[in-house]
Each structure stands twice: as C-alpha cells, then as structure tokens.
Amino acid sequence: MCFVTTGAVGNASGQTITGINTSVAKCTSSTGGLSIQVSGGLSPYTYVVTGQTPNSTGIFTNLSAGMYGLTVTDQSGCVAVSTAQINSVNGMSLNSSVVNTSCGLNNGQLDVSVIGGMAPYTYAMSGPGVAPPYIGIGSGTYSVTVTDANGCVRELTNLTVGVSTALNGSLSIVSATCGQSNGSISVVNLNGGPNYTYSMGTPQTTGVFNNLGSGSYDITVNDSQGCILVMNGQVNSGQYLDVDEQQQPSQLWTK
C-alpha cells in the first residue's frame, strides 16, 4: 500500500493532494464545504472526510465549522492524507424591548437590537415600519425578521405590545340659581389614575369646581400615566324672581 501525506512529492505509485478549497460555515450552521484536488495515482479515487459519507467527487457540503481529516485512496489502494479547517462566520443574536401603548392611543414602541453577524442588516416586520425602533404602533403581537450581509436570518416572534384604555369620565353639574354664581361642576367616574390633576385654568387636586355662574366650561383632567381628558360642561341658570317695582309690597305678599 502507498501512503502519502500532503506536501510529499508524488511518485509513480501514489497520488498527492494538491489543493483543498473550503467555504465558511455561516450563521453557526452546517453550511460550510470543501473540495479536494488530487494529482498522480490511479483513478478513480475514493475521498473520505471525517464524519462524512465517502464519495468519488471530492466535494463535501453541509459541514459545520471545525477541523476535518481527509483521506484519498486511489484504485491501487494508495492513500494520501491531509487536514482541512472549516471556519465560521458568527451568526446573530437579537434582543428586543417593548413599550406598551398608553391612554388608548397607537403610541407603543418596539425596538430590536442585533448582536454579531455582519452589517448591513435588513428588517422585516409583521406590521408597520421599515427598521427599528418601530414607533407609534398599536397594541398587538408582532414578529421581526433580521437578515445580515451573510444571509444569516434570525426571527423574534410573539413580541406583544400591551393594550391600554383611554381616560374617560363624566360630569355632574349643578345649575346656578337666582342669577348668582352658585353653580358647580364635579368630575366623576374616572377610569385612569391614580393621582389626578384637574384644571379650568389653575390646576387643583380635587375634581369639584364651585361658585360658577351660568356658562360653558372646559375641564382638563391629567392622570399619573400622562393621559389627558378634556370635557365640556354647561352650567345652566335656574329660575329667579322677577319683581315689578311699581307694585306695592302688599300686592306681593299675603298674610
């Protein structure tokens, strides 16, 4: 049997491995490959790579990163050996951060950051937006797919932007009477909070506004989540006594 290592000079009875071409394994997966070139010996050759099925082409694909032993046997049983290193291109990992909607608005936010891989990155989202951060999105569940310059693909799924409720409430109004400023408006049935601020110009911590004459009033309510509610209340004027000055008092009251 002939036995030749790479780098040895070929002879009449043996073959020599003259070249090894390799391709990197991308994205930490089995995407590497190698091909073996041989001179001398007697064809056909049988090529063996560690952990792979022998073949007669010298081409091996779907290899993970790592060191491989190579063996080439010709028809005469002569053997040439060598090694080859399959390098890797690091894949990506993804991180995400979510800001839920507030106040019943489409003001949520979804951001995705990439670690590793090779820029530039392209993004695809199951919703609005082209690239993170995705701002001004409504509540719901989203997925984001990132592809780097090497063609590596990573996906984040089930990214949930939480739902929120708009600040709502109602007004309880007492009419002004006798032409006086004795009406009132109270803010009731608020669903936000806690810690509301109420204002008809000057902020206050209670939702009751007294000493109001007849007219239209705008009341602004802010809660601790930053939600704002503006309501309009109409204070009506009640009945008041209309006295005829020409009448005598005896005509107005009876015993």
Condensed to tens digits (0 to 9), the pLDDT of residues 33-50 reads: 999 999 999 999 999 999
Tell me the pLDDT band of 82, cut-offs 50, 70 and 90: very high
Task: Work out the average pLDDT over 124-134.
Answer: 72
* Residue 228 pLDDT greater than 80, yes or no: yes
Fold classification of 3-89 is: Immunoglobulin-like (2.60.40)
Contact 57, 47 (CB under 8 A): yes
The pLDDT value given to residue 27: 79
What pTM does this model have? Answer: 0.57
Buried b (16+ CB within 10 A) or exposed e, 132-151: bebeebeeeebebbbbbebe
Contact 169, 186 (CB under 8 A): no
203-226: per-residue pLDDT in tens? 999 999 999 999 999 999 999 888
Tokens of 120: 């530039």
Class of domain 92-161: mainly beta
Give the residue with greater pLDDT, 133 vs 63: 63
* Residue 10 pLDDT greater than 90, yes or no: no
Owner of token pair 């070929």: 10
* Residue 12 pLDDT greater than 90, yes or no: no
Q: Does domain 170-235 have CATH number 2.60.40?
A: yes
Tell me the pLDDT band of 126, cut-offs 50, 70 and 90: confident
The answer to whether the 3-89 and 170-235 domains have the same CATH topology is yes
141-189: per-residue pLDDT in tens? 999 999 988 888 899 999 999 988 899 999 999 999 998 999 999 999 9
* Extents of the domains making up the chain: 3-89, 92-161, 170-235
Average pLDDT, the chain: 85
Buried b (16+ CB within 10 A) or exposed e, 39-69: ebbeeebebbbeeeeeeeebebeebebeebe
The pLDDT value given to residue 251: 39
Indicate the length of the chain as a whole number. Answer: 255
* Residue 23 pLDDT greater than 60, yes or no: yes
The pLDDT value given to residue 8: 39
